[in-house]
């Protein structure tokens, strides 16, 4: 989500080539990227990836599996979805996806996501759900939207569908509607990291029980879980320095204290904090993919190396699990 923003087209190509030549082909993007989103750069990341795709022969191009996302309504970003209708029509979804395919220079995306819900739920830094007593209406709108989304697979425009930054209610509606699309893989892509383990409250259980794949985004919590912001440090090449106040979701006293405790565990087991953060997520059986990011090839190389080691040994996992449980929102 930084390609076209902090990362130039040339730098983006360099990272994509390194990733591809390392034997990995799944790429996640979105229409609203790069982030922070602006009207002038809307769709720019898709355009950059599309130019990169065109550097390949048709045989090599077919290896690449790109997923993208439909931008829902946003009061702050009025150039995204133009209408604030709780139901997204088939025509709206299809037109949006066809435009993405043209920018990406491909005929079919791997997974087409709805980027975020157009209702207020406990996401993007919010821990608790507050009811407006309209859950039945929400279900009706979601079911109609997801039915329209799944119809796109019949036309060969996407192989699978997904929802992002959603709740267990969204999962329930998606699974219900998918009964008529039994061969289509379903995904949820939510924030999941050691500072935000909220998917463990009920999302993981639902996914495991219903065979919905979970993709973990923000595994390093915008870089906080590398330890580079400890002791109020603010590296000049960091997103927080370049975009003040935009990536501060994970910055507070409680987070700082938790990171210090995690570092003690790292010292005990001779582990790097970044490695611990990546590999902990692999212990969750509902996680199908982890979305890595990086501004240079070294960061991508590290991520691949750490994840290739597999899940954490049980002893280390238990220590981390017990620690974050003590820092959780529960009090019983």
Q: What per-residue confidence (pLDDT) applies to 114?
A: 98
List Cα–Cα distances, 58 to 20, 185, 231, 246, 295, in angstroms.
15, 25, 50, 39, 28
Q: What per-residue confidence (pLDDT) applies to 331?
A: 55
Give ∠ CA 298-303-305 in degrees, rounded to 5: 90
Q: Which residue has the higher pLDDT, 129 or 181?
A: 181
289-325 burial, b at 16+ Cβ within 10 Å, e below that, comes to bbbbbbbeeebbebbbebbeeebbeeebbebbeebbe
- Mean of all residue pLDDT scores within the chain: 94
d(CA 47, CA 1): 12
pTM of structure: 0.95
pLDDT in tens, 79-98: 999 899 999 999 999 999 99
Q: Which residue has the higher pLDDT, 234 or 127?
A: 234
Asked if residue 247 lies in contact with residue 222, where contact means CB atoms within 8 angstroms, the answer is yes
Here the tokens at position 283 are 């212990």
Structural domains in the chain plus CATH codes = 1-191 (3.20.20.100), 223-286+296-332 (no CATH)
Which phi and psi angles does 138 have, rounded to 5°?
Answer: -60, -45
- Sheet of strand 26-28: strand arrangement: 26-28, 65-70, 109-114, 158-164, 186-191, 213-217, 287-290
Q: What per-residue confidence (pLDDT) applies to 237?
A: 87
What is the mean predicted confidence (pLDDT) over 92-114?
98
pLDDT in tens, 20-42: 999 999 999 999 999 999 999 99
CA atoms within 13 A on the CB side of 197: 24
Q: What per-residue confidence (pLDDT) applies to 128?
A: 79
Mapping DSSP to helix (H, G, I), strand (E, B) and coil, where does residue 118 land? coil
Asked if residue 70 lies in contact with residue 32, where contact means CB atoms within 8 angstroms, the answer is no
Q: What per-residue confidence (pLDDT) applies to 330?
A: 59
Q: Which residue has the higher pLDDT, 197 or 276?
A: 276
At 131, is the pLDDT very low, low, confident or very high (cuts 50, 70, 90)? confident
List Cα–Cα distances, 16 to 34, 223, 278, 289, in angstroms.
15, 20, 20, 18
Q: Where are the beta strands (DSSP E) in 22-157?
A: 26-28, 65-70, 109-114
Least confident among 120-129, 171-180, 260-269: 120-129
Mention every residue, 6+ apart, whose C-beta is less than 8 A from residue 326. none
Distance from CA of residue 163 to its chain's centroid? 10
Here the tokens at position 307 are 């994840």
Q: In this structure, is the dihedral angle defined by the CA atoms of residues 299, 303, 306 and 312, taken in order, positive or negative? A: positive
């Amino acid at each position: 989500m930084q390609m076209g923003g902090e990362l130039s087209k040339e730098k983006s190509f360099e990272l994509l080539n390194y990733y591809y030549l390392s034997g990995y082909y799944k790429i996640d993007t979105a229409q609203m990227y790069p982030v922070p989103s602006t009207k002038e750069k809307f769709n720019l990341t898709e355009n950059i990836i599309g130019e990169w795709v065109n550097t390949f022969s048709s045989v090599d191009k077919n290896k690449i599996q790109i997923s993208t996302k439909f931008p829902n309504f946003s009061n702050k970003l009025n150039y995204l979805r133009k209408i604030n209708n709780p139901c997204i029509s088939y025509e709206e979804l299809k037109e949006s996806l066809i435009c993405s395919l043209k920018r990406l220079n491909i005929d079919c995306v791997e997974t087409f996501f709805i980027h975020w819900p157009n209702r207020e739920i406990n996401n993007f830094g919010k821990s608790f759900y507050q009811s407006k007593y309209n859950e039945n209406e929400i279900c009706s709108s979601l079911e109609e939207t997801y039915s329209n989304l799944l119809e796109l697979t019949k036309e060969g425009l996407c192989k699978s569908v997904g929802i992002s930054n959603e709740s267990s209610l969204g999962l329930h509606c998606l699974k219900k509607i998918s009964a008529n699309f039994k061969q289509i893989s379903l995904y949820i892509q939510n924030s999941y990291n050691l500072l935000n383990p909220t998917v463990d409250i009920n999302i993981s259980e639902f996914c495991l029980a219903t065979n919905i794949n979970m993709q973990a985004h923000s595994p390093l919590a915008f870089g906080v879980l590398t330890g580079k912001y400890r002791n109020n440090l603010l590296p000049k090449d960091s997103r927080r320095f370049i975009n003040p106040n935009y990536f501060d979701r994970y910055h507070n006293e409680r987070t700082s204290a938790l990171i210090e405790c995690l570092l003690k565990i790292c010292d005990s087991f001779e582990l790097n904090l970044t490695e611990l953060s990546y590999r902990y997520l692999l212990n969750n059986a509902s996680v199908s993919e982890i979305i890595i990011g990086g501004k240079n090839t070294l960061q991508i190389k590290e991520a691949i190396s750490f994840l290739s080691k597999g899940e954490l040994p049980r002893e280390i996992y238990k220590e981390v699990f017990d620690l974050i449980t003590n820092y959780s929102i529960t009090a019983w």
